[in-house]
Every structure is written in structure tokens, then in C-alpha cells.
Copies of this chain bind each other. A is one copy, B any other.
Amino acid sequence: MLTKNRLEAFSDGVFAIAITLLVIEIRPPTLAAGETLAHGLWEQWPSYLGYLLSFLVLGVMWLNHHRILEPARRVDGQVLVLNLNLLLWAVLIPFPTAVVADFLRDGGADAKTAVALYGAVVLLAAISFTALFVGITRVGIVDELPPPEVVRAARLRFGLGIGGYSIALALSWVRTVVPSRFQTNS
């Protein structure tokens, strides 16, 4: 029981810090000559969008982390390693968020690269999450397991759901990128 408590405490700490570090990427704007602060703040909208989106991604991940660990009675070495792997990708999220904030407004090939990087990191975090879920739904970790075919279906559904969610996320970004090429003109 203690082991699980420390795993949860450590993971909560990492998620809490990763979600809070997102704000470090939002800096006071450097104003051009004659530019008002209001305009400078407005021009930083990709930073705010990135903050909101990554906060949601990490917040939902924390909520689900808590949900899938709840039935576990104990954790073994495999769960610890799978959990570290998930944290490796979750902690990385502020980096592509900063890249998107810096390059989204360009609207060209670099904006697409930035969005692809963001989507790739979130997708890898989602895959790691599914792997952790698979690692937890084993006899010995949880008290009782539903019939194998139910478990297999749940794992598949979960993996597909997270994959679909990530792809939808990536596509929605692309959709905001393409018109932005015509709209903004810094």
C-alpha cells in the first residue's frame, strides 16, 4: 500500500509541476516602438491557446491517472517503469507547447512542423498511458478482473479512444493553422 501511495504522490507531484511550468512559457511581451501593451498582449494568443490546451491535456491525464490507479491494490516493478515512461512524455509537453507558441503565427511550413511535434508528443504520452493501463489490468495488481475478453476489449477501446482523441487534437490544430496563414499578418 505504501508503495502505491508514494507512486501516486510522486506522479501527482510531477503532473502538478508540469502543469504549473506551462505558465513559464507565457512571458510579458517585448513591445515594438509605439506598440501598446494591449496590442502586444493580444499578439501572444498562441501562447494562451497553448497554455489552455496543454493544461487540459495534462489535467485530463492526471484525472485518468488517478482513475486507473484506484482499483490497484499494489504496484510492482513493471507498473513503476510504465509509470516513469508515462511521466517522461507528460513532462515533455511544455516543450512542444512553447514551440507551437513561437511558430504557430507564422502559418507556413514551420507552423505545421510545430503542430506535428506537439501532436507527436501528445500521441506518445497517450500510447504510454495505454501501456500503463494494460500493465495495471493484470491479476495480482487489481483484486478481481472481469473475463479476459472484456479486459481485452476495454484495453483496445481505451487505446483507440486515446489514439482517436490525439489525432482529433492534431487535426484541430492543423485546421487552426491553415486559415491562420491568411488571417494573421504580423
Contacts and interface: CB of A to CB of B under 8 A. Distances in A.
A35 to B, nearest CB: 9
A28 interface: yes
Interface residues of A, number: 53
Interface string A80-119: 1000100110011011001101110000011001100100
A44 to B, nearest CB: 10
Among all A-B residue pairs, the 3 with the closest Cβ atoms: A13-B16, A37-B110, A17-B20
Given A10-B15, A10-B62, A62-B10, A95 B23 contact: yes
B6 A8 contact: yes
B99 A37 contact: yes
Contacts of A63: 80, 84
A109 B95 CA distance: 30
Interface of A: 2-3, 6, 8-10, 12-24, 26-28, 31, 36-38, 41, 51-52, 55, 59, 62-63, 66, 70, 80, 84, 87-88, 91-92, 94-95, 98-99, 101-103, 109-110, 113-114, 117
A117 B41 contact: yes
B38 A70 contact: no
Contacts of A55: 88, 91
Interface centre among A20, A62, A101 (most CB of B within 10 A): A20
Contact of A84 (B3, B6, B59): B59
A3 B70 contact: yes
Nearest to A9: B12
Nearest to A17: B20
B20 A18 contact: yes
